[in-house]
Structure 1
Amino acid sequence: MSRSGEQIEALRRAMAREVAPSSDFDLNPETILPAGRKLRPAGVLAAFIPGDDGLELLLTKRSSRLKHHPGQIAFPGGKVDPVDDGPTDAALREAREEVGLPGSAVEIIGTTAPHETVTGFLVTPVFGIVRDTFTPIPEPGEVAEIFRVPFDHVTDPARYSIQGRRWRGQRRLYYTVPYGPYYIWGATARMLRSLTQRLME
């Protein structure tokens, strides 16, 4: 079996394991969340592309002009709209809009427990394998760059570290998994770390 094939099988096994929901507040248990808060459902696509040296994860660098999370590294994805049939459908629609990835080219292999973000979203990570070739096309005004990260990098627990910064008057801790010039942190890194934990079980 090829390296990509081995990694795909590992992902399939990981998707079958139960995992607790995650949150941007995991490392900040002293944070008091408002009672009765309403979270908006969203879906993101962790799309892995098979290559000669193994799978590569497709990620984006958000435009610096965006109101929310400008310049940050993110999965393609977004909030569930009325036209979507749940988070998976939203993740596929957004991937088509943001990076030009047709939904028909993606084999969905599973989802993990949702992740709560500091911006009030309940994000379902959707994992898929890109089975057809496609030309990445960044959505003007929203995506500044599209790039790939090796599977072995984002699933290596030694690559992760905990860092912090001031946020709303308090020091907030978060996970990071940098790759070259790309500073992968926050919700994206936390969801990838959850995957890494699943793969290790």
Structure 2
Amino acid sequence: MTTHEALTPLTQALARPLAPSSDYDLNPDTVLPEGRKLRLAGVLVAVELTEYGPHVWLTKRSSALKHHPGQVAFPGGKKDDEDRDIVATALREASEEIGLPSEHVDILGQWSSHETVTGFQVTPVIGHVTKPFEPKAEAGEVDEIFTVPLAHFLNRNSFRVESRRWRGQRRYYYCAPYGPYYVWGATARILRAISDAACLE
């Protein structure tokens, strides 16, 4: 498989009109306050072509973090004032959290923004990891770094809807478990949106 062939589903998805998503998509009865201010954040959907096909780099967040502790997530975080743009945010965070050098990433494009229940407007940045690197977890932020085959997330059958009680209400969300990793919430919703766009005829 050539690099072009491996990345075609992503480039085709990026070429289609994209609508914003949110943690509330499966909870249409949720009433959000008007004028709410969301904090900007960027995450890197880093795809590397391996001998087993394209894989997506993911992290397991530290259980000591304030936001989304212990969850599977893309490397990323809130935008700093020093960041030139949201792409710079995603690349900086990936360098800090998993040791991915920014110069090893070819940016393919930006996905539509995603609103989280914790008040962030997250912009996924899709990037191709062009060179191997030695992953290094950021102390206090990341407990584990791992990869999942992109094919797993491009298969809609990998996703299911589950629910749990949150702040006194039943909340529904997407999940796409892989082995010991429970991929859910905002990460799964973003991946589901990419899968939907990539699978359109």
Question: Smaller-chain TM-score range?
Answer: over 0.9
- The superposition leaves residues 62-117 of structure 1 with CA deviations (integer Å, 9 ceiling, x where unpaired) of 01111211110000001111011121110000000000001100000011110000
Alpha-carbon separation, structure 2, partners of 1:13 and 1:162: 26
User: What is the letter of the counterpart of residue 164 of structure 1?
Assistant: S
Rounded to whole Å, the distance in 1 between the matches of 2:178 and 2:32 is 32
CA distance, structure 1, for counterparts of residue 33 and residue 124 of structure 2: 24
1-side partners of 2:129 and 2:184: how far apart? 24
The equivalent residue for 1:70 is 69
| d(CA) in 1 for partners of 2:180, 2:141 | 19
Give the gaps of 5 or more residues in structure 1: none
SS at match of 2:163: strand
Deviation at 1:3, TM superposition (A): 5.6
- 1:40 aligns to 2:39 (yes or no): yes
The answer (yes or no) to whether the contact 2:27–2:172 under 8 Å persists in 1 is yes
- Preserved contact between residue 3 and residue 53 of structure 1 (Cα < 8 Å): no
Q: Equivalent residue for 1:93?
A: 92
TM-score (norm 2): 0.97
Question: SS state of the match for residue 97, structure 1?
Answer: helix
Cα RMSD after superposing both structures = 0.9
- 1:195 Cα deviation (Å)? 0.3
1:5 CA displacement: 3.4
Q: CA deviation at 1:12?
A: 1.2
- 2:156 and 2:125 mapped to 1: Cα distance? 21
2:149 is aligned to 150
SS at match of 1:141: coil
Q: Percent identity?
A: 56
| Counterpart for residue 134 of structure 1 | 133
Give the match for residue 16 of structure 1. Answer: 15
Gaps of 5+ in 2: none
Count residues in correspondence.
200
1:45–1:77: 8 Å Cα contact kept in structure 2? yes
In the alignment, the residues of structure 1 paired with residue 168 and residue 123 of structure 2 have an alpha-carbon distance, to the nearest angstrom, of: 29
Distance in 2 of aligned mates of 1:81 and 1:194: 26
Runs of 4+ residues over 2 Å off in structure 1? none
Give the aligned partner of residue 25 of structure 2. Answer: 26
How far did residue 175 of structure 1 move?
A: 0.1
Given that residues 6 and 49 in structure 2 are in contact (C-alpha distance below 8 angstroms), is that contact kept between their aligned partners in structure 1?
no
Conserved 8 A contact 2:154-2:199: no
Q: What is the rounded CA distance, in whole Å, between the counterparts of 1:126 and 1:44 in structure 2?
A: 6
State the Cα deviation string for residues 5-42 of structure 1 (Å, max 9, x = none): 31212211211111110000000010111111001111
Is contact 1:4-1:53 (8 Å) kept?
A: no
Aligned partner of 1:162 in structure 2 is 161
